[in-house]
């Protein structure tokens, strides 16, 4: 068996085209959605992700509001930028690119964001709403995984899902999303404390690999026909000394799985598309509240 590829790149392009129409409709009513980004430091990966987000904004008609601070920025300076974006009427939603440089208190920064403008769904109030199953912006990566499963007709109702990884941006909220009544999956979250990872994964109809451990998921661990989504993205340095990104899923999994969201080209582009969705939804909510 060779897996059907869950093509995040093509799906994200289709979503951007749909969002373009919603942005045009907002514009016709005098509202221009704006995405703010706060990038602290010079990490090339983070800088590339932020640049990609602004390219997407240009394509869809969302205004870009870029704030860049040096790696030496103090907690007070980062918090002042957050306060500035909270107050900026042109900014419908914004993100603080993670991770922040060492020494900065990430959770404190996220907690100071206006939850209404939290385009990443990572504010404690919005994560709390996710637990309570109340409407709120959703974290982009798990939302992107779900959207990909839906658009390819991969069933979640009654499915056994194994999420590998318990991080706040992906693994933890993924479990919460999949256990909502609308998805109705049975979820097992595996992590570094899990005794027999392979035994859990072998039972799964859907596997979300979000551990950040290159090649962790091998073909022998996957039930034939299962859907596998590779959320991992780790920078490794090859024998040639050159850096590259690698996922959590070994290449041979493609021969066993029924569906595969690869890295690159699977969940990553969907993460970006879901960020745009969150911004457009924030602008639509603001218009409705006027």
Instruction: Pick from 263, 276, 280, 282 the residue near ligand LMY7XDAE by CB under 6 A.
Output: 263
- The reply to whether 105 belongs to the active site is no
Least spacing, CB of residue 195 vs ligand LMY7XDAE, in Å: 28
User: What's the first-to-final CA gap in the chain, in angstroms?
Assistant: 54
Residues 173-232 that bind ligand LMY7XDAE (CB under 6 A): none
Q: Which is nearer to ligand LMY7XDAE, 6 or 233 (CB)?
A: 233
Q: Does 140 bind ligand LMY7XDAE (CB under 6 A)?
A: yes
If the CB atoms of residues 155 and 264 are measured against ligand LMY7XDAE, the closer one turns out to be: 264
The torsion defined by the Cα of 193, 199, 236 and 168, in degrees rounded to 10, comes to: -50
Q: Is 7 a catalytic residue?
A: no
The one catalytic residue among 7, 56, 118, 120? 120
Figure out which of the listed residues 268, 276, 278, 283 binds ligand LMY7XDAE, where binding follows CB under 6 A: 268
Question: Of 7, 56, 97, 230, which one is the catalytic site residue?
Answer: 97
Q: Which is the catalytic residue, given 53, 205, 230, 248?
A: 53
**233 in a labelled binding site:** yes
Q: Mark the segment that binds ligand LMY7XDAE (CB under 6 A) among 63-71, 75-83, 177-185, 263-271.
A: 263-271
Among 54, 245, 254, 285, binds ligand LMY7XDAE (CB under 6 A): 245
List 271, 276, 280, 283, residue binding ligand LMY7XDAE (CB under 6 A): 271
**Which CA distances in Å does 252 have to 183, 212, 218, 224?**
29, 18, 7, 12
Which one of the spans 67-75, 184-192, 209-217, 267-275 is the region binding ligand LMY7XDAE (CB under 6 A)? 267-275
Told to judge if 195 belongs to the known catalytic residues of this protein, a careful annotator would answer no
258 touches ligand LMY7XDAE by CB under 6 A: no
When asked if residue 233 is in the footprint of ligand LMY7XDAE (CB under 6 A), the reply is yes
Nearest to 60 by CA among 270, 277, 269, 264: 277
Number of residues that bind ligand LMY7XDAE (CB under 6 A): 19
């Amino acid at each position: 068996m060779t897996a059907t590829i869950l093509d995040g790149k093509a799906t994200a392009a289709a979503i951007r085209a749909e969002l373009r129409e919603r942005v045009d409709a907002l514009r016709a009513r005098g509202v221009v959605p704006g995405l703010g980004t706060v990038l602290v430091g010079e990490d090339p990966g983070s800088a590339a992700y932020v640049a990609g987000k602004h390219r997407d904004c240009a394509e869809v008609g969302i205004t870009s509001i870029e704030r860049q601070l040096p790696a030496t920025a103090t907690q007070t300076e980062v918090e002042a930028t957050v306060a500035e974006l909270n107050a900026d009427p042109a900014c419908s939603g914004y993100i603080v690119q993670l991770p922040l440089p060492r020494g900065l208190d990430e959770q404190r920064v996220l907690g100071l964001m206006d939850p209404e403008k939290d385009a990443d769904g990572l504010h404690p109030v919005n994560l709390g709403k996710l637990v309570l199953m109340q409407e709120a912006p959703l974290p982009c990566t798990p939302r992107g995984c779900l959207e990909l499963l839906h658009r390819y007709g991969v069933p979640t109702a009654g499915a056994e899902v194994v999420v590998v990884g318990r991080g706040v941006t992906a693994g933890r909220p993924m479990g919460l999303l999949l256990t909502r009544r609308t998805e109705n999956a049975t979820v097992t979250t595996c992590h570094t404390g899990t005794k027999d990872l392979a035994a859990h994964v072998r039972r799964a109809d859907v596997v979300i690999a979000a551990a950040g451990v290159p090649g962790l998921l091998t073909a022998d661990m996957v039930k034939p026909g299962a859907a596998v989504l590779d959320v991992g993205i780790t920078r490794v340095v090859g024998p040639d000394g050159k850096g590259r990104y690698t996922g959590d899923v070994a290449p041979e999994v493609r021969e066993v799985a029924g569906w595969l969201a690869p890295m690159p080209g699977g969940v990553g582009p969907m993460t970006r598309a879901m960020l745009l969705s969150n911004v457009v939804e924030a602008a639509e909510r603001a218009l409705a509240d006027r």
